[in-house]
Structures are given as C-alpha cells and as structure tokens.
C-alpha cells in the first residue's frame, strides 16, 4: 500500500506503538492498515464415482485444471462462498457437505477450505472463469496439469479416503495441511507459461 485508503495521504511502513510487526501507518489520519490472510473456499463436487473439474480461463494458472474455488466475499459464510464459487465456475448446483481440507498457504497469505459437495444434477457448463468443465473418474485426473498444490492434495486425500471407505461413514474428518512453498508443476502444453508464479502477481489472485 502506498496511499492511505482512509484519507489518501502517503503511508509509511513501521511498527506502531504496542505492536510487534511492521504495518502501513498513515501519518496524516493515524489509520493503521492491517493485512491478514484471505480465505479461499471451494468444493469437491461429486456425482456417482466422479468429481467435477474446471479448466481455468483466468490467470494465474490459465489452462490448468482446478476444483471450483475462489475468494470468500464479505457477508457470506464459508459454505455459501463454496457453493457460489462452484456455481460461478462450473454451472453446477451442489449441496455442500462436510468440511474436508483446511490448507494453510502462508507464502501467499491464504487459507484454503474445501468442502465435500453433492451435485444435485449432472448439469454443468463452461463459464467466463472456466474454459472447460468435466466430470472425471480417478483414473482420468490430470495430475500433472492441476493448477495448485491445494487442489492436488485435496484430490489425493479424497481418493485415498474413498478407497479406504472413509467417506460418508458418518464420521466427519478434516485434513489439515501446511503448504510452505510452491510446488513445481509441469506445463500442460507448450503455449502455456507454466512458470508463472501466483505469488509474484500484483493483482490479488489465489494460488499456491
């Protein structure tokens, strides 16, 4: 931040009194601009033995596959946000179920939460945010073309739990993971920039 969002004066980076971290502080109006992690909420939409994946039509990770997810909006709950993002990115209406993964991604200042979700009908479609949307069985998951480590881990855990009969056994469980550095991912096609780092993007973008 360069200018105060409260009064427009230039801010300076320093540790305010009674604090122990540097903040953007306005010397004109006294506002202290705290920055805190953002929540990314999404779902694992399930229909029979398949999950719904979206091919990203936006940066970062354009052209890579993802589970529907995005930043929470003000005024909504995590489950509302997860359902909204699922509808926006895939056109699918889902019944959001239990919380499945909580993934800390401190290097991009994010916490990702994925819910298991039941697709209410086999209806889905590409959107402004997705080039393609498809139901995929475990054998068809494009592991080398997934957009983010949080997607990779969530899908791995989903298929692992399912194989072990631990989904829908009436005992909800949450997997917690800390992802401390970007994962190296292969480029899915020659014309895509697989080296793009979400954390270096200037615009807010979710990723890992």
Q: Which residues bind Zn ion (CB under 5 A)?
A: 4, 6-7, 9, 26, 28-29, 31
**Residue with smaller CB distance to Zn ion, 25 or 46:** 25
- Check: CB of residue 82 under 8 Å from CB of residue 117: yes
**Residue with smaller CB distance to Zn ion, 8 or 122:** 8
- Check: CB of residue 11 under 8 Å from CB of residue 26: yes
- Tell me the helix, strand and coil percentages in the chain, rounded to 5: 20, 35, 50
**Residue with smaller CB distance to Zn ion, 31 or 131:** 31
Q: Give the nearest distance from C-beta 67 to Zn ion in angstroms.
A: 40
Helix (H, G, I), strand (E, B) or coil at 174: coil
Q: Give the nearest distance from C-beta 42 to Zn ion in angstroms.
A: 35
Q: Give the nearest distance from C-beta 26 to Zn ion in angstroms.
A: 3
Sign of the C-alpha dihedral computed for residues 76, 82, 83 and 84 taken in this order: positive
Q: Which of 47, 45, 44, 56 is nearest to 145 (CA)?
A: 56
Q: Give the nearest distance from C-beta 28 to Zn ion in angstroms.
A: 5
Maximum Cα–Cα distance for the chain, whole Å?
A: 60
**Residue with smaller CB distance to Zn ion, 6 or 200:** 6
- CA 121 to chain centroid, in Å, comes to 24
- CA 56 to chain centroid, in Å, comes to 12
**Residue with smaller CB distance to Zn ion, 7 or 163:** 7
**Residue with smaller CB distance to Zn ion, 3 or 143:** 3
- Residue 53 burial by CB count (10 A; 0-12/13-18/19+): exposed, middle or buried? buried
Q: Give the nearest distance from C-beta 25 to Zn ion in angstroms.
A: 9
Q: Give the nearest distance from C-beta 18 to Zn ion in angstroms.
A: 19
């Amino acid at each position: 931040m360069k200018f105060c969002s409260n009064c427009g004066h230039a801010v300076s980076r320093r540790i305010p009194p009674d604090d122990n971290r540097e903040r953007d502080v306005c010397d004109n109006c006294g506002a202290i601009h705290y920055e805190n992690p953002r929540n990314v909420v999404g779902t694992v939409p399930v229909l029979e033995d398949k999950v719904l994946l979206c091919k990203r039509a936006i940066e970062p990770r354009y052209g890579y596959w993802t589970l529907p997810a995005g930043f929470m909006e003000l005024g909504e709950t995590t489950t509302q946000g997860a359902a909204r993002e699922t509808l926006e990115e895939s056109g699918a209406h889902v019944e959001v179920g239990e919380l499945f993964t909580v993934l800390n991604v401190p290097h991009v200042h994010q916490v990702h939460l994925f819910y298991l979700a039941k697709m209410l009908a086999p209806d889905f479609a590409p959107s402004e945010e997705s080039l393609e949307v498809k139901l995929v069985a475990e054998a068809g998951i494009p592991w080398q073309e997934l957009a983010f480590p949080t997607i990779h881990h969530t899908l791995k855990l989903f298929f692992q739990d399912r194989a072990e009969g631990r989904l829908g056994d009436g005992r909800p469980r949450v997997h917690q993971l800390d992802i401390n550095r970007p994962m190296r991912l292969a480029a899915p096609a020659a014309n895509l920039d697989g080296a793009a780092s979400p954390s270096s993007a200037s615009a807010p973008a979710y990723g890992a």
